[in-house]
Amino acid sequence: MKFGTVPVRPLIALVAVGAAVLLGLPGPARAPEIRLTGAASAPPGGAYWHTRVVWKTTHPRRLGRGSDQYWVVEQELLEKWSARDGRSWTGWRKPGVYPKSAADREAWRRDGSPTKWTRTADGQVVSLSTRPDKGHVGPVPGERTFLLSEQRLTYDEIQRLPADPDALKSWLTQVARVEQAKETIVDSFVTGALTGLLYELPAPKEVRAAAYRALQTMPGVRVKGTAKDGVGRTGTALSIPPQKGTTVRSDLIVDTGAMLLLSEDMQDTIDGMASLEHTGTRTVLQAGWTDTAPAVPALP
């Protein structure tokens, strides 16, 4: 989830002494740092922090002809491998589109069961196919750091993030106020960062647990009980209403044993009408340490 297009800044230093959290901006010649009273987590087992995510969203325009029109679901696989020295690789692959519902499947069959499209029902140019593409994988250029809330962190700094939910939320709030010109989007900025900590970065389990607890203190967030994600895994469901300054609501399912995000359903509503621009489901198929080298994502 993106929050604005401001340039990435050096790390905002965090100093925790007991319950006190002091925040200051480092000068140009000062190295970024986090100093905490707690010890860093134990070294991980594996060469890479690896995430495998599938994003599904309804294509914004109908396909087909005449009365045989239908919606299709687009899929995209995204994998990322991050070494502790900050090097990272990403892999992409499109597994292919498919009709959204049983009614859409019937209309697709009446349309001749096409396997590719170059035009939508209203004549817009598209390039869609039911067949998977070949995908690709490659290194990520740039700084060898990890990105959290527009802050560049080293692996060691991630290990020393606050394992206390109040301290973690306080730091992220201050980061948001520095990075964002509008106070009205601070809550959405913090909520997105807390959600990302549940799978995107190689944070210790204690930090992920703090992020999960801090999420429950954000405006309007409700714990809804046990639920299953789209691939049948069980977790705890959280409902996150649109935070001030945004129109997107989210429903998360979290594995509270591993403290990892399983899925996130997002719905964007503008003026009471559903918008497909930021509506879809993110399913985190894998998140954890691995020794398996980067490769083109395998089909699910």
228 located within any domain: yes
| pLDDT at 298 exceeding the cut of 90 | yes
Is 180's pLDDT higher than 70? Answer: no
pLDDT at 248 over 60: yes
Q: What is the pLDDT of residue 181?
A: 53
Residue 195: how many other CB atoms lie within 10 Å:
23
Residue 4 in any domain: the answer is no
C-alpha 156/C-alpha 86 separation (Å) is 10
Alpha-helical regions (H) of the chain:
102-110, 155-159, 165-179, 186-197, 205-215
Any domain includes 28: yes
Q: pLDDT tens digits, residue range 105-133?
A: 999 999 999 999 999 999 999 999 999 99
pLDDT band for position 47 (50/70/90)? very high
Q: For residue 16, give the nearest of 7, 24, 4 by alpha carbon.
A: 24
**Does residue 214 fall inside a structural domain?**
yes
Residue 150 scores a pLDDT above 60? yes
What pTM value is reported for the model?
0.83
- At 94, give phi and psi (nearest 5°): -105, 115
Does 202 reside within a domain? Answer: yes
Q: Please indicate, yes or no, if residue 7 is contained in any of the structural domains.
A: no
For the chain, the domain total comes to 1
- pLDDT above 80: residue 7: no
Domain that holds residue 227: 13-290
Q: For 193-241, write each residue's pLDDT tens digit.
A: 999 999 999 999 999 999 999 999 999 999 999 999 999 999 999 999 9
Residue 299 belongs to some domain of the structure: no
